[in-house]
Chain A
């Protein structure tokens, strides 16, 4: 067993002469690890992991360790500004918070009066623990349009989890599954969502079996008992093939299937359409390997699937998730100790309640952009981005006049970046709250200075499914920066929804905690709170679905006009679906593999993180690189029918010669020019956002499965940090 070595807080304090240490909860990603923040003379001096935290257990990633460089970055926006030149001119004037919020409120109310509340769109990027406050504000304002990453990130897990079994099942690492199948997820680098890489690492160090499904040889894949290197975008077919083996060889949990499943027979009929030999041809994986993985997963108990965002950024988004849910379910691992659990949060006013979804009038709900097209997404208050861009540019189905992005950089993160840029240039009024003037913020009318996690009180992990909530304690105040929650609380009063908010946002935290019978000041003194831990709850009360069963056959999708059974669709662009395009663009492009230090568009400004990897890289198999005369480290042009960007070649034997892998969300804050290089390496210049290319139920974009061509850039300038050589 690993013997963990804990930081010695007393000796640290004495050795460095720190004045104080604060136990808090990092949010350099979605929220997560317990941290110790050491301060001297009111300034953050050092950040370390908190060994007493149940999340991370004292370990901390590169991002968390660099948090002070974010908080004290010289380029950070520290007061509100308004734009005084044309969009993108970089001409800003300092204004007061009152002027900024009054202007935003006046614009919002004006558009609401003239064009309806739906003409105002609020947006956030990946979850930054502000989502409940943003939905609360939007719902009370009356707009059904909150533009998030939810259509292609985590939202699909939540919505497919809910329609199948009532929640999003997560791996119970605390009870050490004996087999983990990591599917489209590199947890040890990404530290995604509920649990962190450390949980998986410790589990594997105890001897658990490992299956990895990934087109790239990650270190996880290198350590796997079985690595399934699939053709990108064929996850659904692979899952159907594994299900075929498990059902055909009767390796499933018969008691679970007989008593707790809805739609077994039609589901089996669908699975039988995918014999393993057919699946092998689709996925490029030998049939024997598919069968071996299916057997290992089905016969090693308990087992869990560590699923990730990669399977959601495809046309098969919802069905990929539903098929993995099916694998969890029929093997008897759902809500089983050490398997795939449905944990409960403590008794609090949860994200849904706080989000005030019941306050949005029904006549506004039906106006949700894209709600009639992407009906699974619409049901969960999720909007496909193109629906918003189209409404801005064409005024159809109604005009969108104002956008307010809070911790979001859609120019970098949404599909078909050129179309995004055009819409943001065109929208009448735009406000942004962020740490820096990002390429998105450059196009805003007003930019508000957002607080980092070091500058706020909050209830961390409030939205997650592991059942913990943890106090994030404010350590410092920097400039005039405000947390998104405080900012919205203030703005709410200015747009006439003050009665639903508070004099001070601390009372909002009290409201969240109210059912527990405590206030923030008491919770602040606690290490954490956890919901009641119980397993196999379906045995007494069924699942929280219309049939009270685990719905392999979804009655809700059927009601909304979709195929109730999961299926496999060929990727929108592929050697098979678009052979003519493949002749011109002869490589499959996967995007968005995580690398240490960066969180989507963030952290390129932080010296200790940028140093880890100064430039974006494109993974290319050495044989492929040789064919194009590309050497390791060369700048490479990557082209799709939508556009062209460049990244540097990383010759990598762990990727199929027919596939290349690009990084996402790269811009160059160190380039002191308009746009900050937003379209130089931004892989979303290449991605497609047409409605036909999206998952029909969820509206997820196919940003990870497209076709491209590559060539060595004739201009090799720009070595290091994106500067001209």
Chain B
């Protein structure tokens, strides 16, 4: 089975937020609703130096063990596809928000304007037409947003890290 997800190399992220705007342009989500969210981590010490980085949060899809949101949904609005994409169909959502506490990554948000829950669908409408999700389609200046099989992406991120850290 093909497994698809967007994997972010957080250490490479510059916090430019282009992915958030690319997602907005593509999915036209309401104000305040983010399917991808770049979070600034607090400053702390690392190797004796002050340090901070960004954490890019979105639904993990194939990477989320068991995708607990799927099972808890009473209206089957959330579907785990064969390719590993977890699609939430808001037309079938009744806004019970049972899925929100189940999500281990806080990647599901409640849209008060529409009384539904929403999350990243990995641009499944694009993927089904042979396209790449908007955030991962080469807009990122850090080239740190990868789309594909996580098993193939992880070693690439690790290789990048070794060059970057001059190891």
Enumerate chain A interface residues (CB-CB to B < 8 A). Answer: 2-8, 11-12, 14-15, 46-49, 51, 58-62, 65-66, 68, 188-189, 191, 196-198, 201-202, 204-207, 217, 219-220, 222, 227, 596-597, 607-609, 611-612, 652-654
Q: Does B164 contact A59, Cβ atoms closer than 8 Å?
A: no
Q: Interface stretch among B13-21, B87-95, B97-105, B108-116? A: B13-21
Q: Does B138 contact A6, Cβ atoms closer than 8 Å?
A: yes
- Closest CB in chain A relative to B113 CB, distance in Å: 13
List residues of chain B with CB within 8 A of the CB of A68: 25
Q: Does B16 contact A51, Cβ atoms closer than 8 Å?
A: no
Residue on B with the closest CB to A190? B16
From B20, B51, B130, B138, give the contact of A4 (CB < 8 A).
B138
Q: From residue 118 to 157 of chain B, which have CB atoms closer than 8 A to chain A?
A: 126, 129-132, 136-143, 147, 156
- Closest CB in chain A relative to B56 CB, distance in Å: 13
From B15, B24, B140, B156, give the contact of A596 (CB < 8 A).
B15
From A5, A15, A49, A198, give the contact of B136 (CB < 8 A).
A5
A217 to B44, CA, bound (A): 11
From A5, A14, A197, A597, give the contact of B141 (CB < 8 A).
A197
Q: Does A219 contact B54, Cβ atoms closer than 8 Å?
A: yes
List residues of chain A with CB within 8 A of the CB of B54: 219
List residues of chain B with CB within 8 A of the CB of A217: 43, 50-52
Q: Does A189 contact B21, Cβ atoms closer than 8 Å?
A: no
List residues of chain B with CB within 8 A of the CB of A12: 131
Residue on B with the closest CB to A206? B163
B49 within 8 A of A: yes
The 3 closest A-B pairs by CB, nearest first: A653-B43, A188-B14, A15-B129
List residues of chain A with CB within 8 A of the CB of B26: 46
Q: Does A201 contact B14, Cβ atoms closer than 8 Å?
A: yes
Residue on B with the closest CB to A612? B17
11 A-B Cβ contacts within 8 A? A3-B156, A7-B138, A46-B26, A65-B21, A66-B25, A188-B141, A189-B15, A201-B143, A207-B163, A219-B13, A608-B24
A-B contact count (CB 8 A): 136
A665 to B16, CA, bound (A): 19
A4 to B141, CA, bound (A): 10
- Closest CB in chain A relative to B43 CB, distance in Å: 3
From A62, A205, A219, give the contact of B18 (CB < 8 A).
A62
List residues of chain B with CB within 8 A of the CB of A198: 141-143
Q: Does A222 contact B17, Cβ atoms closer than 8 Å?
A: no
List residues of chain A with CB within 8 A of the CB of B136: 5
A205 to B16, CA, bound (A): 17
B166 within 8 A of A: yes
B12 within 8 A of A: yes
Q: Does B138 contact A219, Cβ atoms closer than 8 Å?
A: no
Q: From residue 14 to 54 of chain B, which have CB atoms closer than 8 A to chain A?
A: 14-18, 20-22, 24-26, 31-32, 42-44, 49-54
Residue on A with the closest CB to B50? A217
From B31, B132, B142, B160, give the contact of A607 (CB < 8 A).
B31
Q: Does B137 contact A7, Cβ atoms closer than 8 Å?
A: yes
- Closest CB in chain B relative to A498 CB, distance in Å: 43
List residues of chain A with CB within 8 A of the CB of B32: 611
List residues of chain B with CB within 8 A of the CB of A62: 16-18, 20-21
Q: Does B21 contact A66, Cβ atoms closer than 8 Å?
A: yes
List residues of chain B with CB within 8 A of the CB of A607: 31
Q: A2-B143, A222-B50, A653-B43 are in contact. Are A612 and B20 (CB under 8 A)?
A: yes
Q: Does B18 contact A65, Cβ atoms closer than 8 Å?
A: yes
A12 to B129, CA, bound (A): 9
Q: A11-B129, A11-B130, A65-B21 are in contact. Are A48 and B53 (CB under 8 A)?
A: no
- Closest CB in chain B relative to A260 CB, distance in Å: 32
A198 to B16, CA, bound (A): 11
A337 to B32, CA, bound (A): 47
List residues of chain A with CB within 8 A of the CB of B130: 8, 11, 15
List residues of chain A with CB within 8 A of the CB of B53: 219, 222
A51 to B42, CA, bound (A): 34
Q: Does B141 contact A59, Cβ atoms closer than 8 Å?
A: yes
Q: Does B143 contact A611, Cβ atoms closer than 8 Å?
A: no
A48-B137, A198-B142, A201-B12 known, 8 other contacts, Cβ within 8 Å: A48-B139, A59-B139, A60-B18, A191-B141, A207-B163, A222-B51, A227-B50, A654-B43
